[in-house]
């Protein structure tokens, strides 16, 4: 089975800190995604990547950046964490969305910024 692993289940960070969320997938998927999930707002796409060193902005990229130096790893970076970035962060990968493969999600990282 495809596995998407997020490095932390829970994180507590202080306002202004630089935060790194790591995501690794083990099935050679081209596409990787970062979403945040908030009550009443659903899943919102932050960034996605089609290939190594490639990245595309999603719907809410402000305050975030990403890095994809290796195919299996997609990192989300909060340059200066703020309290409004407290959320559940979900990483996902997909073989080929255009052929209906769908996403495989990680278990999520619940980030609290204090």
Residue closer to another protein by CB (options 82, 107) is 107
| Cβ neighbour number for residue 28 with a 10 Å cutoff | 10
- Minimum distance of another protein from residue 112's CB (angstroms): 14
Residue closer to another protein by CB (options 44, 73) is 44
- Minimum distance of another protein from residue 67's CB (angstroms): 19
Structure-token pair, residue 66: 């990403």
Query: 40: burial class by Cβ within 10 Å (0-12, 13-18, 19+)?
Result: exposed
What's the helix, strand, coil split of the chain in %, to 5?
Answer: 5, 50, 45
- Minimum distance of another protein from residue 51's CB (angstroms): 11
Residue closer to another protein by CB (options 66, 108) is 108
> Using CB under 8 A as the criterion, which residues of the chain lie in contact with another protein when the complex forms?
4, 31, 33, 35, 40-43, 45, 48, 50, 56, 58-59, 90, 92, 97-108, 110
Distance from C-alpha of 106 to C-alpha of 113, rounded to nearest angstrom: 21
């Amino acid at each position: 089975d495809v596995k998407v692993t997020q490095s932390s289940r829970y994180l507590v960070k202080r306002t202004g800190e630089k935060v790194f969320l790591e995501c690794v997938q083990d099935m050679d998927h081209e596409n990787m995604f970062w979403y945040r999930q908030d009550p009443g707002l659903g899943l919102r796409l932050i960034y996605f990547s089609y290939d190594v060193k490639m990245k595309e902005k999603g719907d809410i990229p402000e305050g975030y950046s990403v890095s994809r130096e290796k195919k299996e790893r997609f990192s989300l970076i909060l340059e200066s964490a703020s309290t409004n970035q407290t959320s559940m962060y979900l990483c996902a990968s997909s073989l080929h969305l255009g052929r209906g493969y769908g996403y495989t999600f990680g278990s999520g990282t619940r980030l609290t910024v204090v």
